[in-house]
Amino acid sequence: MKTQEFKVKPNLAVGLTLIMLAVISVVYISNYFVAKTMTTAQFIVYLIFVGCMYFYFLGCRPTAYVVGNKTIVMKKRLIPDKEIDLMHAEVICDPVSRLADLVTRPHAIEIYMDTKKRWCFFPKDPVGFTGAVVNENKRIHCTVQKYTDLHRSIVKRERKSRRRNERRARRDQGED
C-alpha cells in the first residue's frame, strides 16, 4: 500500500511560549552574571527547567504523521516514533467541545479507538489526512465536517452526471 506523510500544523501557543521563555532566560542569565540576584543552585534549577521545556516542545511532540499499512506513525525528533493501529479505530471526528481544547487547538482531528482512547492529530491538510485514514480503515465512522462536505458534494455530482447519462442513453435508445 502507498503511505502518505502529513506535516503537523505549527502551534502558535507553543511558539510564543518558547519565544517568551528565551526572552526571560536572557534576562535571568544576565541577572545571574551581572547582578547576582540568585544563587547558583537556583540558576541550575532554572536551566534544567528551561532545558526540559525545550526538550519536550521541540523533541517529544509530533513533527509528521505517516498514514499507511493500516497504521498511523507519529514521527518525533528526539524520541522513538509512536505507531497507532487503525484497525482498532472506531470514529474519526472534529474535536469534541472541551473548553481547553477549543481555546488552544480548535482545528484538531480526533480518532477514538475501541478502548475509548482518544488521539488528537493536527495535520496541515485535515481533509487529506482524513481521506487517507478512511482509505486505510473502511469501517471507521467519519464525522469530520470538511471531509464529509467535500465527499458528499463529489458523490452528489457523480450521481447527477450518472443519472443524466442514463437518461441520455434511454432517450438515444428510444430514438433508434
Residue 156 is assigned to a structural domain of this protein: no
- Checking if the pLDDT of 173 tops 70, the result is yes
- Checking if the pLDDT of 150 tops 90, the result is no
Strand-pairing partners, residue 141, are 91
Residue 148 is assigned to a structural domain of this protein: no
- Checking if the pLDDT of 99 tops 80, the result is no
Residue 173 is assigned to a structural domain of this protein: no
Average pLDDT score over residue span 46-70: 94
Neighbouring residues of 95: CB distance < 8 A, sequence distance ≥ 6? 101, 102, 105, 106, 107, 108, 109, 110, 120
Spatial distance between the Cα atoms of 122 and 58, rounded to a whole number of angstroms: 15
Position 80 confidence tier, pLDDT thresholds 50, 70, 90: very high
**Hey, what's the cell of 15?**
511558539
Spatial distance between the Cα atoms of 98 and 160, rounded to a whole number of angstroms: 39
Question: What's 43's domain CATH number?
Answer: 2.30.29
Full-model pTM: 0.79
Residue 163 is assigned to a structural domain of this protein: no
Overall number of domains in the chain: 1
- Checking if the pLDDT of 175 tops 60, the result is yes
Burial class (CB in 10 A: 0-12, 13-18, 19+), 97: exposed
Residue 162 is assigned to a structural domain of this protein: no
Position 13 confidence tier, pLDDT thresholds 50, 70, 90: confident
Parent domain of 18: 4-143
Position 31 confidence tier, pLDDT thresholds 50, 70, 90: confident
Residue 155 is assigned to a structural domain of this protein: no
